[in-house]
Amino acid sequence: MGTFVARRLLESATVLLGVSFLAFAVLFLSGDPTYLMIPENYTRQQIAEFRHSMGFDRPWYMQYGDFLARAARGDFGVSLRSQLPALPLVMERMPATLELAVAAMLLSLAVAVPTGIVAATHRRTLVDGASMVGSLVGQSAPGFWIGLVLILVFGVELRWLPVSGRGGLSHLVLPGVTLAMYSMGRNARVVRASMLDALGHDFIRTAYAKGASRLAVLYRHALRNALLPIVTLVGLDFGVLLGGAIITETVFAWPGVGRLVINAIYEKDFPIVEAAVVLIAAIFVLLNLCVDLAYGYLDPRIRYS
Amino acid sequence: MRARALRNFRGSPGAVGGLVLLLCIVAAASVSPWVTGQSTTLVRVQDRLLQPLTVQGGYRHWLGTDALGRDILSRLLVGARISLLVGLTAVLIGGSLGTAIGLLSGYYGGWTDRVMMRFGDMQLAFPFILLALAVMAVLGPGLVNIIGVLGLTSWVTYARVVRSEVLSLREREFVQAARAVGAPAARVLVVHALPNVVGTVIVVATFSVASTILAEAGLSFLGLGVGASTPTWGAMLADAREYMTDAWWLTAFPGLAILMTVLGVNLVGDWLRDYLDPRLR
């Protein structure tokens, strides 16, 4: 287990290094940020001095080394727009995004796991067919459109729920449902497939043969084995949810990192974009590391491979 | 083999429904200029926000008009071409690139393999839409840009799947035999490995068309897609937001168009997967 953990830690570090390089490269290629940062009336002499003082005239690998050294200390520079440090601005928005993503994930699992189990145990019945078509529709509809339709129905027509901003639980309902839709559909299908897989094993027949009740077989024998792929899915899902949150936040004016990044992109406020990209990737990598370790703990075969 | 495929296909109502849906959309997209006879860019402010089915100026607006008086149906049909074009070309790029990388990675192993796979991990560590957004922000909106971004960022799945197949193929007798008689790597890969991974690649590619169409719609919705002058489904939905309270049809129809197209692709993909490669379930 020790070597497994060490190897995965090293891999995560490499991935983060690569992400930081990608973030740097994308913005480096976008051109010299000097002109975004200086007043228009600067003379050529002043511009050259400014570039030199900011280090923009150095070769890219030196700038990257510098970027990396500063990033390691949590310093991504100041927002070009507000002149405030970039990382705290992003961090400040993180709780709102995490709240939305976690709510969507809980909702998705709360619907998908029971649906998948029922579909698997009632294979080839109307229930199975209907829930699988339903989950495919959930996977095929664009999230932002579902959001717009929900706003139209529950906000504009029925006036039941608030359609923008962050507040109590009622503010969380529409964006949460919108964001959860895609992963709900996918998870239900995965749960169904892995339940069917588990139910096909010999030990299920053995359990029935020794006289265990149907419920005991389903939950004690089948579900426990079916849960492994679902654990991995939760890790991957979180990345999808964080990405999806960017669009969902735009639709519902949710004050999270997604909206911050979108606005920063429109305004070419690159320090904010860099800080957000690296921070989101770090969360994602860390989460997947935890999932892998949990997986290795749950299924000993994995650690030794 | 063909007859079996056909029988299997007919026995699956989902697959037939999906294919019919797709054929309708492709047909509508290809005949769009003759069907509607309406310009998609002609601005007629006096005809703005007409309800669906309204007859105006001797012409029936089946799905209504938008805030500038442009016919929604005509714009949807042109949008279908963009969606399909972006979906198919991007998948072609990503699929070829990913398959090539997967073949080489799996066959040679060692450093090539390790570097490519770590690179893939890095890309997967990025929420994909964030990467696409950052690149589109730098490049600016445009058809070629969006196809490039969506194509080049989608290679990882193909590479991983193909690589794992090649790893096991490499140990099989017919590949060993080919290598023993001195076939060069290129021949082994193209003649012996490629035909054996093609089924898997097709399945991955089908689902990838669906997700690419969704991604394009999302980026266009955010204003970082094909560009403002082109009527894409995503951009139509972005325009619709302003008039949501007075014109429901602006929001409803472009979204339904995306849903139907993606659903069609997913239904066909489901069948293809079950038929070609049950292990991917």
pLDDT digit string, tens, across residues B24-67:
988 888 876 666 555 666 667 677 777 777 777 667 777 777 77
Contact call for A26 and B222, based on CB within 8 A: no
What is the DSSP code string of A68-115? HHHHHTT---B-TTT-SBHHHHHHHHHHHHHHHHHHHHHHHHHHHHHH
**Biggest CA-to-CA distance, chain B:** 77
Q: Is A11 on the interface with B (CB under 8 A)?
A: yes
Q: What is the pLDDT of residue A303?
A: 59
Q: Is A134 on the interface with B (CB under 8 A)?
A: no
Contact call for B125 and A239, based on CB within 8 A: yes
Tell me: the pLDDT tens digits for A158-202? 888 887 778 788 888 899 999 998 889 888 988 888 888 888 888
Tell me: the pLDDT tens digits for A62-118? 888 888 888 888 888 888 778 888 899 999 999 999 999 999 999 999 999 899 988
- The complex's ipTM works out to 0.83
Q: Is A140 on the interface with B (CB under 8 A)?
A: yes
Contact call for A30 and B128, based on CB within 8 A: no
CA distance B39 to chain A (A): 26
* Contacting residues of B for A22, CB less than 8 Å apart: 122, 126, 131
Contact call for B129 and A139, based on CB within 8 A: no
The CA-atom distances, in angstroms, between B212 and each of A248, B26, B166, B199 are 18, 17, 26, 20
Contact call for B125 and A27, based on CB within 8 A: no
Tell me: the pLDDT tens digits for A278-293? 888 888 888 878 877 7
* Contacting residues of B for A23, CB less than 8 Å apart: 134
CA distance A112 to chain B (A): 17
State pTM to two decimals: 0.86
The Cα angle at residue B158 between residues B155 and B161, in degrees rounded to 5: 145
Tell me: the pLDDT tens digits for A27-66? 777 666 676 667 777 788 888 887 787 777 788 888 888 8
